Chain A
Amino acid sequence: MTESAVSTRLSSLDTLESEAIHIIREVVAEFEKPALLFSGGKDSVVMLHLATKAFWPGKVPFPVLHVDTGHNFPEVIDFRDRTVERLGLKLVVGSVQEFIDRGELAERADGTRNPLQTVPLLDAIQQNKFDAVFGGGRRDEDKARAKERILSLRDEFGQWDPRNQRPELWNLYNGRHTVGQHVRAFPISNWTELDIWRYIERENIELPGLYYAHEREVFARDGMWRAVGEVSQPLPHEEVITKTVRYRTVGDMSCTGAVESDAYTVSDVVIEVAASTLTERGATRADDRISEAAMEDRKKDGYF
C-alpha cells in the first residue's frame, strides 16, 4: 500500500514526460532507422532533451534532421550546431534553398518559405531511408493537429489521410508500415505550450536567446512585429522601430512574428504564457492565418 503514494504524487509534467519517453523508446525499438526533426525551436529542443533522458547514460541513438528554409534566424542555426556537437549527434540538413536553386521549388509570392519545407523533408526522408521521423507537434497547436495520432502513418508521398487513421488504443502503438511508407511520431502530442515552458523551467533547458525578451528592429505587418533582416525587409510605408520583443515560435524569419514582451527569464515566460489570451500560432505565424484549414492542408501534403 505504501507504494501507491508514489503514483498519487506523480505530477502532470512527470506523467507527460513518462509517456513521451515510452513513445520514444517504442519507436527506437520497433523501427530500423528513426530520425528526429530538430529546428532549434523549443518543442524540438524539449524532444531532444526527452531523448537524452530516455537513453541515459547512452547516446541518443538516432540522427537529427533539419529542414533549412534558408530564412532561419542565425542565432538559431548557431544554437542547433552547438546542441548537435554537445550531444555527439549526426545532423542531416534538407535545404529549401538548394531546391529553389535547382528549380525544383518556386519562391511564393508572399515570400514565406514554411510551406516549401515539405518537398525537402520528404526528399531527406527518402534519401536517408528514415522509416520513422519524430516531430515536436502538439495537439493543442491547431485543430487539425488535435486529430493526429501519436504514430501517424504516411504514404509514399508523405501524405496524411485524416479520415483513415488507425485507432490508437491504450499505450499500444502500432507502427507497422510497408515499404515506401513511413511513420511520423509525436511523443509530446499531449503537451500544451504551458507544459513545454514549465518543463523547460523545471529541467533548466537551454533555448535560443530569441525566446526571451530582447531589443530588436521591427516593423508592423499583418498585425505582428516582424524582424528586420536580410529576407524580411520593410516596405516603404512600413516604419522600422526598436522594441522589446520575444518570439513564441521560431520558424522561418519571413513568416514568424515577435510579440512585445518583457519576459527576460524562463519564469517570466511561464507567467506570460499562462496569462496569454492568444494562441502561439495565431499570435506569431502568418502561414497559419491563411485559412482555418491551413495546417490541415499542409499536413495532408506531407508537412510535419
Chain B
Amino acid sequence: MTTEAVLPADLGTALPTTLFRFATAGSVDDGKSTLVGRLLHDSKAILADQLDAVARTSADRGFGGDKGGIDLALLTDGLRAEREQGITIDVAYRYFATDRRSFILADCPGHVQYTKNTVTGASTADAVVVLIDARKGVLEQTRRHLSVLQLLRVAHVIVAVNKIDLVDFSESVFREIEADVQQVGRELGLGSDGISDLLVIPVSALDGDNVVERSERTPWYSGPALLEVLETLPAADELESHLESFRFPVQLVIRPQGALAPDAVAAGLDVEAYRDYRAYAGQITEGSVKVGDQVSVLTPGQDPRTTTVVGIDFAGASLEEAAAPQSVAIRLAEEFDVARGDTIAAAGTVREASADLYASLCWLSPKPLREGAKVLVKHGTRTVQALVRNVNGKLDLSTFKLEQASALELNDIGHAQLRLAAPLPLENYLHHRRTGAFLLIDPLDGNTLAAGLVKDHPGDHEDERYSI
C-alpha cells in the first residue's frame, strides 16, 4: 500500500457509528502523550473541568514557556507516580468519538516494558500509531515496535513523524524518514504482505499539524490528517470476516430447566416451550454463521461431531445469521454433550487438534521461561496444562534474526515448542488472529507469563516471510 491513504467516499453520518480500536506506541520523549492529548483536545473529547485541572498543574510546573500553553501529556498520565515523574507507566485507555466512529485508544508507554505494553495494546487494536521524532528518525526502538506489530498482525500501522515543526517542516527530512520506514517495512513484510498496510504522516502534536486538520505548513504532503485516516480505515473485523471461517468457543451452556427468568416469563415467555431449552453461549471469534449451516463440534480427545445450526438466539431475539464479534447463543439439531472449552466451527474447515504446540512467545513476566517448565495454556475458553519442551531461540528485534537462546526473559520474543496435556484446535496466528492466540499462565501464582502466537508445525507449509 502506498504512503498516502486513499479515502473512501463519504458515507454520511446517518449510519450509526462503529467502533475502532487503536493503540499508540513510541520511544522516550517522542511526544506520544502530547499527540494523544492533542487528538482528544482537538476532537473535543476533553471536557472543561479536565482541561482546568491540567491547566492548573501545567501552570504550577511552569509549563508552556513562550507557547503559553498547557501540557497535553497531563491529560493521559493517570496515576500519581506518572504525574510526579512525568512518565507514563501503564497502558491507559481513552475514549473519543467523531460523527463517524467511536474510538478506543490504548496509550502504550515506551519507557519501560515497552514490549509488554505494545503487545498488550496491539493485541486488540485495529491500528497502531507509531511515533518517530523527526529530529531522530528511525531508531532501534522503532524497528522493535514495527517488528512486534508485524508479529501481532496489526492490520494498519501508521507512522507519525512527530515534531515536524522542529525540523522547519522540511520535506526532505520527512521523505528520508519515510523511505527508512518503508525499508524496514519491506524487511519485515509489513505493508506488502496483503494483511497489513503502512502509512507515514508528518505531524506536530504540540501545534496540531496534520493531527485532526490537514496542515498548511506541510504543502508537500497531500495525504490525510491522522484522524481522517483513523476514521476511514476498515476495522479488523470488517477485513477478517471475509476471509475467515466460523469459530465459536463455547463459554457455557444455557439450560435453565425450571429457573427461567421471571421478567421474561412476566413478559409472556412460553414456559412449556422453554422447559427443555438448551443453547451454547459464546462470542463468535471469527467468521459468521447462519441457521441451517453445517457445523462441527470440537471436543479435545474426540473426533469432530457434525450437526446443523437450528437457532441463533440473542436475549429473546431469533437471528438468521450472526458474525464476529457478536455474543449469541447457538442451538444445534442434535443433543450432543457440549461443554465449556469445546469449539463450534464451520464443518470441514478445521485441521486436526494437536497436542504439540509450536509458537512465538512474547515473554511478559519477570520470571524467565526455561525448558522443562510446567505452565498453563489458555486458548479460547479452555485452559490446559503444558510442558515447555524446547526454547528454539529468541528474536533480535533490530535485525529480525533468530538467535540461539534456551531461556526467554521479560520483553523477549522467542520460539518455543510445548507439549499439551490435551489436544487443542490450534490455528496459525498468521491467518487467525483469535484462534491462533493464547496465554501462558503461571500455575503457581496465576500470573500471565506470555502472549502466545501459534505457528505451523515445522514441515508444514509456511511462508518464509513469517518465519520469525
Which stretch (A50-58, A66-74, A244-252) binds chain B?
A50-58
Within the assembled complex, what's the spacing in Å between the Cα atoms of A278 and B51? 10
Within the assembled complex, what's the spacing in Å between the Cα atoms of A26 and B380? 11
Which stretch (B24-32, B200-208, B435-443) binds chain A?
B435-443
Q: Mark A149-166, 1 if CB is under 8 A from B, else 0.
A: 000000000000011011
A167: which B residues are within 8 A, CB to CB? Answer: 116-117, 119-120, 364, 448, 451
Q: Are B261 and A88 in contact (CB under 8 A)?
A: yes
* Interface assignment of A90: CB less than 8 Å from any CB of chain B: no
Answer whether A52 and B261 are a contact pair too, CB < 8 Å, given A3-B288, A169-B123, A195-B102. Answer: yes
Q: Are B261 and A1 in contact (CB under 8 A)?
A: no
* Interface assignment of B315: CB less than 8 Å from any CB of chain A: yes
* B213-264 at interface with A (beta carbon < 8 Å): 237-238, 241-242, 251-252, 254-256, 259-264
* A210-266 at interface with B (beta carbon < 8 Å): none
Partner of A16 from B19, B90, B101, B451 at Cβ < 8 Å: B19
Partner of B439 from A19, A29, A53, A169 at Cβ < 8 Å: A169
Interface residues on B, range: 35 or more
Q: Are B18 and A87 in contact (CB under 8 A)?
A: no
CB distance from B24 to the nearest CB of A (A): 14
The residue on A at minimum CB distance from B57 is A292
* Interface assignment of A174: CB less than 8 Å from any CB of chain B: yes
Q: Are A292 and B83 in contact (CB under 8 A)?
A: yes
B78: which A residues are within 8 A, CB to CB? Answer: 142-147, 296
Q: Mark A126-146, 1 if CB is under 8 A from B, else 0.
A: 000000000000011011111
Within the assembled complex, what's the spacing in Å between the Cα atoms of A52 and B316? 10
B92: which A residues are within 8 A, CB to CB? Answer: 143, 146-147
- Number of A interface residues, CB 8 Å? 71
Q: Mark A1-30, 1 if CB is under 8 A from B, else 0.
A: 101101110111111111101100110110
Answer whether A57 and B120 are a contact pair too, CB < 8 Å, given A15-B19, A277-B47, A292-B57. Answer: no
CB distance from B366 to the nearest CB of A (A): 10
List the interface of chain B (C-beta within 8 A of A).
16-19, 47-50, 53, 57, 76-81, 83, 89-95, 97, 101-102, 104, 116-117, 119-120, 123-124, 237-238, 241-242, 251-252, 254-256, 259-264, 266, 269, 274, 277, 281-283, 285, 287-290, 313-316, 321-327, 329, 340, 364, 376, 378-379, 381, 433-434, 437-439, 441, 445-448, 451
10 smallest CB-CB distances across A and B, nearest first, come from A176-B446, A143-B78, A3-B288, A58-B256, A282-B49, A53-B315, A11-B16, A6-B323, A12-B19, A7-B323
List the interface of chain A (C-beta within 8 A of B).
1, 3-4, 6-8, 10-19, 21-22, 25-26, 28-29, 52-60, 86-88, 139-140, 142-147, 162-163, 165-172, 174, 176-178, 189-190, 192, 194-195, 276-279, 282-283, 292-293, 296-297
The contact sample of 26 A-B pairs, CB cut-off 8 A, is A3-B323, A6-B241, A6-B321, A17-B327, A19-B327, A22-B251, A25-B282, A26-B381, A28-B252, A29-B381, A54-B327, A56-B254, A58-B261, A139-B93, A139-B94, A142-B78, A145-B78, A163-B90, A170-B434, A174-B439, A176-B446, A178-B445, A190-B95, A277-B47, A279-B47, A296-B80
